[in-house]
């Protein structure tokens, strides 16, 4: 098994596959698209967080003291604006103590390269683990730019949580960030000549926020 394959977690849970099928359907409404994205992200969260570190403690139940274990690391959720916002709430539901920071990136349609327009990260005190959130991993350009920003911040462990990934994007991320784990609900065939994922699900941002008027 290659290092790249070890760092890719393709979640094939039956419920994930079922929800992805509905997510892809072009007749799915924006409201339902958001609900499905929330469900899938919640299922991916259990995989993305299964190796978080714990510390021992004691809690008092109504009956007696009980040994327990609680999170010992600081966790940050870093959605890539705008589409990544849809994955924040389901992750916060399972990690309510997580910090939330934002990166604004858009793809230049002429060059297919990411352009940064917004960054909200503290200058010091990086988190222990950062989960980068974005529905789509296509060329990998935006993900790699986000991961580079987090590396400069000093984050020791990064993970990328996406709904759909293309092989080209996976390769790009693991070429530049071989230690970053990618957690995804689907690995698709390829990118087309417009750098869209095939079969994909269209423009996730437009479908999430009902802004596709074409």
Query: Under DSSP, is residue 63 helix (H, G, I), strand (E, B) or coil?
Result: coil
Select which of 24, 35, 42, 206 is catalytic: 206
Select which of 111, 119, 179, 211 is catalytic: 111
Select which of 9, 24, 35, 107 is catalytic: 107
Give the distance, in angstroms, between the CA of residue 186 and the centroid of all CA atoms in the same chain: 12
Q: Is 65 a catalytic residue?
A: no
Distance CA 85, CA 82 (A): 6
Q: Is 188 a catalytic residue?
A: no
Q: Is 89 a catalytic residue?
A: no
Specify the DSSP class assigned to residue 7: T
Q: Is 111 a catalytic residue?
A: yes
Select which of 24, 42, 82, 203 is catalytic: 203
- The angle subtended at Cα 105 by Cα 101 and Cα 110, nearest 5°, is 175
Spatial CB neighbours of 174, under 8 Å, sequence gap ≥ 6:
3, 4, 7, 8, 180, 182
Please identify every residue annotated as catalytic. 107, 111, 203, 206
């Amino acid at each position: 098994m290659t290092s790249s394959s070890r760092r890719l977690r393709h979640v094939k849970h039956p419920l994930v596959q079922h929800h992805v099928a509905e997510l892809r359907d072009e007749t799915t409404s924006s409201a339902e698209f958001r609900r499905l994205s929330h469900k899938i992200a919640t299922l991916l969260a259990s995989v993305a967080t299964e190796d978080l570190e714990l510390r021992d403690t004691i809690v008092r139940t109504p009956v007696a003291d009980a040994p327990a274990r609680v999170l010992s690391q600081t966790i940050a959720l870093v959605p890539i604006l705008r589409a990544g916002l849809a994955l924040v709430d389901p992750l916060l539901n399972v990690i309510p103590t997580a910090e939330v920071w934002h990166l604004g990136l858009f793809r230049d349609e002429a060059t297919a390269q990411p352009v940064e327009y917004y960054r909200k990260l503290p200058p010091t005190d990086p988190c222990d683990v950062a989960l980068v959130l974005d529905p789509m991993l296509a060329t990998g350009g935006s993900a790699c730019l986000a991961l580079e920003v987090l590396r400069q911040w000093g984050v020791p462990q990064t993970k990328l949580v996406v709904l759909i990934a293309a092989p080209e994007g996976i390769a790009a991320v693991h070429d530049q960030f071989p230690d970053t784990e990618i957690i995804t609900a689907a690995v698709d065939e390829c990118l087309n000549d417009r750098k869209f994922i095939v079969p994909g699900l269209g423009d996730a941002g437009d479908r999430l926020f009902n802004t596709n008027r074409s």
